[in-house]
């Protein structure tokens, strides 16, 4: 599906709350004040029952058309003549919402390493405050991939009367391998001397540690099949020869270095630390005490989508997660994208997501 230009009415804004009373967090800390950056595409209808919340993955932003434009193309999932779409930037990020670079009201300085642990439920409660501000009582749909899917599912559990349908793609509680990969990524950021215990200046934030962390993440977002097909044992495209000197790279090494270099120009290391910890703590059973309590709260229709080659959130884990949710009375369907693109398939091959969701019919069913 080509990301053809789409015309839409876009409103961008920021909503700030909890200036005085603070916003309590599940971890026991609080944020004061809280700002949520948002983007709104189209307008709510008269009944205000056509609103879709699109929740971004780790490094996304409120501007859904920047990172998932295929949702809006002709024949895409979300027809802006029919739906009003809202994107928010999550707590902990560096794209306009409260995060590690925000000013701590208690100290007058950026939070840095003191930014408290934020959970998916904290993010969803902040989104609910924004929707209250916008006069939106109920969502037609909450949808997202990866950590975005975690948000969509928590909407169904935490606010069961406020969402009709939740779609989560490549989403389940992280297994030990996923937790390990996130741990290693945080370690390489902290070991970078320029990180300086989260106190680096903005002009020093082009961190080698963040670049390596992103390269590790890129491995988990793709599949061995895709890497073999694209890169195999090809020499790096700039002509380096790994058989002639130590520093020479194979093509896959050049690709990963390029991805790391691009990432440090647009993302913040402290936000990366914060959001990967948020992803680690997604565990509805722990939050509610049991699977029965967590999933019996759900009134929305739930759709989980696995990806055949995803080894960060393996399809068997997503399928098992769907069965567990459904075992306690929730209406939960499972679909699977067959793709070699790994975890990134929902972004790399959105037409396949569209196919498994019945070209949008799944939303209205």
* High-pLDDT (> 70) share of the chain, %: 95
- Answer whether the bond into residue 166 is a cis peptide, omega within 30°: no
**83-138 pLDDT, tens digit each:** 999 999 999 999 999 999 999 999 999 999 899 999 999 999 999 999 999 999 99
DSSP string of 315-351?
HHHHHHHHHHHHTTT--EEEEEE--SSGGGHHHH-HH
Point out the catalytic residue in the list 102, 146, 205, 309.
146
Q: Report the mean per-residue pLDDT for the chain.
A: 93
**334-361 pLDDT, tens digit each:** 999 999 999 999 999 999 998 998 866 6
pLDDT at 199: 81
At residue 277, what are phi and psi to the nearest 5 degrees? -70, -40
Verify whether residue 310 is a known catalytic residue. Answer: yes
pLDDT at 1: 45
**14-47 pLDDT, tens digit each:** 999 999 999 999 999 999 999 999 999 999 999 9
Is the separation of the CB atoms in 358 and 327 below 8 Å? no
**195-228 pLDDT, tens digit each:** 888 887 655 555 899 999 999 999 999 999 999 9
Would you tell me the crossing angle of helices 147-158 and 120-134 to the nearest 10 degrees? 70
Verify whether residue 343 is a known catalytic residue. Answer: yes
Q: How confident is the model at residue 72 (pLDDT cuts 50, 70, 90)?
A: confident
Q: Which residues contact 303 (CB under 8 A, 6 or more apart)?
A: 165, 166, 167, 168, 332, 333, 334, 335, 357, 362
Point out the catalytic residue in the list 154, 165, 335, 343.
343
> Distance between CA atoms of 271 and 112, rounded to whole angstroms?
9
Point out the catalytic residue in the list 268, 310, 317, 344.
310
């Amino acid at each position: 599906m080509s990301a053809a230009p789409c015309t839409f009415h876009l409103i961008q804004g920021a909503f700030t709350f909890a200036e005085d009373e603070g916003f309590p967090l599940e971890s026991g800390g609080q944020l004061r004040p809280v700002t949520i950056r948002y983007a709104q595409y189209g307008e709510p209808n008269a009944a205000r029952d056509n609103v879709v919340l699109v929740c971004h993955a780790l490094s996304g932003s409120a501007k859904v058309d920047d990172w998932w434009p295929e949702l809006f193309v002709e024949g895409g999932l979300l027809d802006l003549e029919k739906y009003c779409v809202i994107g928010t930037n999550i707590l902990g990020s560096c794209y306009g919402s409260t995060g590690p670079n925000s000013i701590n009201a208690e100290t007058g300085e950026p939070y840095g390493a003191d930014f408290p642990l934020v959970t998916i439920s904290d993010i969803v409660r902040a989104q609910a405050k924004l929707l209250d501000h916008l006069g939106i009582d109920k969502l037609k749909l909450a949808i997202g991939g990866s950590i975005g899917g975690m948000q969509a599912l928590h909407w169904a559990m935490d606010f069961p009367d406020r969402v009709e349908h939740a779609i989560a793609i490549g989403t389940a509680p992280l297994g030990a391998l996923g937790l390990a990969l996130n741990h290693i990524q945080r370690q390489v950021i902290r070991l970078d001397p320029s990180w300086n215990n989260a106190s680096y200046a903005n002009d020093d934030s082009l961190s080698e540690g963040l670049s390596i962390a992103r390269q590790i993440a890129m491995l988990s977002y793709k599949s061995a099949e895709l890497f073999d097909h694209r890169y195999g044992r090809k020499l790096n495209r700039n002509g380096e020869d790994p058989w002639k000197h130590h520093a020479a790279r194979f093509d896959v090494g050049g690709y990963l270095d390029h991805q790391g270099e691009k990432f440090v120009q647009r993302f913040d290391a402290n936000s990366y630390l914060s959001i990967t910890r948020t992803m680690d703590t997604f565990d509805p059973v722990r939050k509610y005490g049991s699977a029965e309590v967590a999933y019996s709260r759900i009134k929305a229709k739930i759709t989980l989508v696995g990806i055949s080659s995803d080894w960060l959130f393996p399809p068997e884990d997503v399928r098992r997660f769907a069965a567990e949710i459904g075992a306690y009375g929730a209406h939960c369907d499972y679909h699977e994208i067959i793709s070699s693109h790994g975890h990134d398939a929902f972004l790399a091959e959105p037409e396949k997501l569209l196919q498994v969701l019945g070209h949008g019919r799944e939303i209205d069913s």
